[in-house]
C-alpha cells in the first residue's frame, strides 16, 4: 500500500470530537448501549449481548483477520487495483477516522472497500453508510477534484463460517473451499442522503457525549435482555413504551413536539393524527396503549373479539438454511383444547421423509377437528410461510384453504384490537403479564435450533434428554398460546 501516505496519528484525538466508523455503527445499533460503552460503563462484549467475553458459538466464528485473508487469496486475478491492507485514515476537517477493509485505487482516487460474510444479495444500509463514512475519511487523500462517489462490498459466502484458520493453511483444502463459490464484488453508488445521514449521526454522537443518552426500549442485543431499561422507560412514560414506536420514530415524534405517551392522552385525536402524520387507526392504537398504562389494564380499541374456547393450537420448530444443515421443520407440536382440557401431540422429523409424513399428519388432525379454530402465535409471518415452503420443497400437493380459512393468529389479533400495559407483545411477555408460568429452561428458538443440532449428533441418554428438553419447550409455547387466548376471550 505504498501508494498511500500513512496518516499522522501522533496528535491527540479528543474523544468528544473524533468519531470512528465503529462509533457510527454502534450508535446506529443503539445510542444508549453506545453511550455506556463509550463512557466505559460496559465492555464491548456486553454491548453485543454476549454473556461472556467469548462469543456464544465461538466454534463457528471466523476472526476478521481471517476474513481479510480469505478475500485476499480468493479474489479473481482479473480484478485489479484492490489493496486489502487495513489501516487507519483520518479527516482532520471532519474529525472522523476509520479503518476500511481496503481500498481500490484507480487514477489517483481511493474508493473504500468493506468485506462482509453474508448470505444475502442485498447490501444492508449499514454497509452503505460505512462506505459513505469511509469515503469522507478518504477525501483528504484523493488526488483528483470530484471523483465519482462509490465504494465496493466484497461479499464472502456465509458457509465460510464453517471453516477456521486451520483450513486456510492447507492449499488443497482452500482450493476445495473456493470451488464452492468465490466472493462477489459489488459496486455501490453512494447517494447524497447517505452522506447526510452519516454527518447527522456524527453530530448526534457528539451531542450524546456532551448530554448523555436516556434509556429507551429497543431490540438491540444489550437493551433487549435488561428489564431495568424497560422499567426506566415506563417510569418516564417514554414513547418507545408504545407498540409500533421504535426509538427512531420516537425521535421524529419528539421533533414534532410529542415527548411522552401522556401527550397522546391529553391531545385531540384528530389534531394528533395531523401533527404526527399517521392514520387514525394507528393513533387509536397509540392512545389505547397509553390508557392501558395509565389504567393498568387491557384496553380494547378494535372491533374483533375472540368468541371461542375450544381450539386447535399448533407450533412449528424449524431451521432455515444454516451451517451444514438443510431447511427442515423438525418438530410439529399440536394441542387440542376441548372443554378446558388440553391434549398434546408431538411429531418429530429427523429426515425429509419423516418431515413429509408429519405435515400430512398435521392436515389429518386439522380435518378431524371439524370447524374448530386453528390458532398460532405469529403464524402469519412464521409458521404458515414455513409450512408453505416445506410443502413446496417436499412436493406435497395439498390444499391449504381449510387451514387458512380457520386460522387465527393470536398475536395479530392482539396487535389489531387491544393493548396491554406492557411494551412488548412477544409470547413470553404476554404470558408473564397474565401470570402464566413457563417450565422450560430453553430461552428461545435460536437456542432450540442449537440444541436440535446437538440432538442430531448425540447418542443414548444425551439424545433422549435433549429431545425431552426441546419437547418441553414446544409444549410450553402451545400451553401459553392456549391459555393466553382464553384470557383474551374473557377480557
Residues 400-403: contacts with CB within 8 Å, 24+ apart?
A: 402/366, 402/367, 403/363, 403/366, 403/374
What is the Cα–Cα distance from 253 to 178, expressed in whole angstroms?
A: 49
Which ranges of 75-119 does DSSP label H, i.e. alpha helix? none
Identify whether the C-beta of residue 315 lies closer than 8 Å to the C-beta of residue 435: no
Q: Which residues of 346-357 are buried (b: 16+ CB within 10 A; e: fewer)?
A: bbebeeeeebbe
What is the Cα–Cα distance from 153 to 185, expressed in whole angstroms?
A: 6
Whole-number Cα distances in Å, 395 to 28, 253, 352, 389: 43, 49, 11, 10
**Residue-level pLDDT at 7:** 38
DSSP E strands: which ranges in 414-454? 418-419
What is the Cα–Cα distance from 14 to 17, expressed in whole angstroms?
A: 6
What is the Cα–Cα distance from 459 to 472, expressed in whole angstroms?
A: 19
Q: Residue 161: count other Cβ atoms within 10 Å of its Cβ.
A: 19
Cβ burial, residue 211 (10 Å; 0-12/13-18/19+): exposed
What is the Cα–Cα distance from 135 to 127, expressed in whole angstroms?
A: 12
Enumerate the domain spans of the chain. 19-211, 223-296, 311-490
What is the Cα–Cα distance from 207 to 212, expressed in whole angstroms?
A: 8
Going from the first residue of the chain to its last (491 residues), give the mean pLDDT of each consecutive group of 10, the final group possibly shorter.
39 68 94 91 85 55 62 63 82 94 87 80 87 95 82 78 56 60 83 96 93 90 87 94 93 91 89 91 95 96 92 92 63 96 96 95 92 94 93 91 91 96 95 95 90 93 96 97 94 81
**Residue-level pLDDT at 10:** 41
Characterize the bridge pairing of strands 407-409 and 374-376.
Answer: parallel
Closest CA to 139 of 80, 188, 195: 195
For residue 418, the cross-strand partners are: 300
- All three cell numbers of 188: 455501490
Determine the 3-state secondary structure of 477 from DSSP.
helix
Identify whether the C-beta of residue 236 lies closer than 8 Å to the C-beta of residue 260: yes
Q: Residue 362: count other Cβ atoms within 10 Å of its Cβ.
A: 21
Q: Give the class (CATH, top level) of 223-296.
A: mainly alpha
Would you identify the CATH topology of the domain 19-211?
Answer: Lambda Exonuclease; Chain A (3.90.320)
What is the Cα–Cα distance from 454 to 462, expressed in whole angstroms?
A: 9
- All three cell numbers of 125: 444500509
- All three cell numbers of 179: 470451488
Whole-number Cα distances in Å, 459 to 136, 354, 454, 463: 56, 19, 10, 5
Q: Give the class (CATH, top level) of 311-490.
A: alpha beta
**Residue-level pLDDT at 412:** 96
What is the Cα–Cα distance from 439 to 435, expressed in whole angstroms?
A: 13
**Residue-level pLDDT at 12:** 43
Query: Residues 379, 218, 440, CA angle at the centre, nearest 5°?
Result: 50
For 155, phi and psi rounded to 5 degrees?
-100, 115
Overall residue count recorded for the chain in this entry: 491
Instruction: Indicate left, alpha or beta for 40 from its phi (over 0: left) and psi (-120 to 50: alpha).
Output: left
Determine the 3-state secondary structure of 35 from DSSP.
helix
For 62, phi and psi rounded to 5 degrees?
-115, 125
- All three cell numbers of 155: 461479499
**Residue-level pLDDT at 6:** 39
Instruction: Indicate left, alpha or beta for 257 from its phi (over 0: left) and psi (-120 to 50: alpha).
Output: left
Residue found by looking up cell 400437493 in the block: 397
Amino acid at each position: 500500500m505504498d501508494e498511500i501516505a500513512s496518516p499522522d496519528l501522533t496528535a491527540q484525538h479528543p474523544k468528544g470530537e473524533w468519531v470512528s466508523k465503529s462509533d457510527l455503527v454502534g450508535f446506529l445499533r443503539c445510542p444508549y448501549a453506545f453511550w455506556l460503552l463509550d463512557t466505559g460503563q460496559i465492555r464491548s462484549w456486553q454491548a453485543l449481548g454476549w454473556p461472556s467475553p467469548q462469543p456464544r458459538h465461538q466454534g463457528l466464528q471466523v476472526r476478521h483477520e481471517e476474513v481479510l485473508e480469505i478475500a485476499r487469496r480468493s479474489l479473481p486475478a482479473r480484478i485489479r487495483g484492490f489493496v486489502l491492507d487495513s489501516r487507519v485514515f483520518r479527516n482532520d476537517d471532519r474529525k472522523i477516522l476509520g479503518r476500511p477493509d481496503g481500498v481500490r485505487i484507480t487514477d489517483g482516487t481511493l474508493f473504500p472497500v468493506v468485506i462482509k460474510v453474508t448470505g444475502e444479495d442485498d447490501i444492508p444500509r449499514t454497509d452503505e453508510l460505512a462506505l459513505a463514512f469511509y469515503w469522507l475519511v478518504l477525501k483528504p487523500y484523493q488526488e483528483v477534484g470530484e471523483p465519482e462517489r462509490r465504494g465496493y462490498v466484497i461479499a464472502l459466502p456465509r458457509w465460510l463460517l464453517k471453516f477456521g484458520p486451520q483450513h486456510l493453511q492447507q492449499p488443497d483444502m482452500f482450493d476445495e473451499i473456493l470451488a464452492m463459490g468465490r466472493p462477489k464484488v459489488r459496486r455501490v453508488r453512494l447517494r447524497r442522503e447517505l452522506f447526510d445521514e452519516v454527518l447527522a449521526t456524527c453530530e448526534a454522537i457528539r451531542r450524546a457525549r456532551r448530554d448523555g443518552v436516556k434509556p429507551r426500549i429497543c431490540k438491540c442485543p444489550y437493551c433487549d435482555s435488561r428489564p431495568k431499561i424497560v422499567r426506566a422507560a415506563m417510569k418516564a412514560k417514554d414513547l418507545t413504551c408504545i407498540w409500533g414506536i421504535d426509538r427512531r420514530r420516537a425521535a421524529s415524534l419528539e421533533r414534532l413536539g410529542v415527548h411522552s405517551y401522556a401527550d397522546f392522552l391529553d391531545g385531540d385525536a384528530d389534531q394528533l393524527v395531523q401533527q404526527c402524520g399517521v392514520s387514525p387507526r394507528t393513533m387509536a392504537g397509540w392512545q389505547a396503549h397509553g390508557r392501558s398504562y395509565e389504567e393498568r389494564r387491557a384496553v380494547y380499541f378494535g372491533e374483533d373479539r375472540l368468541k371461542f374456547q375450544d381450539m386447535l393450537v399448533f407450533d412449528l420448530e424449524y431451521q432455515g438454511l444454516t451451517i451444514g444443515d438443510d431447511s427442515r421443520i423438525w418438530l410439529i407440536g399440536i394441542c387440542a383444547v376441548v372443554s378446558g382440557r388440553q391434549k398434546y401431540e408431538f411429531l418429530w422429523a429427523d429426515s425429509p421423509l419423516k418431515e413429509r409424513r408429519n405435515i400430512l399428519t398435521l392436515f389429518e388432525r386439522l380435518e378431524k377437528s371439524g370447524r374448530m379454530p386453528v390458532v398460532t402465535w405469529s403464524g402469519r409471518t412464521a409458521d404458515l410461510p414455513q409450512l408453505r415452503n416445506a410443502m413446496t420443497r417436499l412436493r406435497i400437493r395439498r390444499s391449504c384453504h381449510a387451514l387458512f380459512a380457520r386460522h387465527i393468529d393470536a398475536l395479530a389479533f392482539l396487535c389489531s384490537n387491544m393493548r396491554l400495559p406492557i411494551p412488548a407483545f412477544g409470547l413470553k411477555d404476554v404470558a408473564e403479564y397474565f401470570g402464566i408460568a413457563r417450565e422450560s429452561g430453553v430461552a428461545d428458538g435460536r437456542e432450540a435450533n442449537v440444541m436440535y443440532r446437538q440432538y442430531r449428533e448425540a447418542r443414548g441418554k444425551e439424545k433422549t434428554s435433549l429431545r425431552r428438553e426441546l419437547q418441553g419447550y414446544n409444549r410450553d409455547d402451545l400451553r401459553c398460546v392456549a391459555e393466553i387466548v382464553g384470557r383474551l376471550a374473557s377480557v
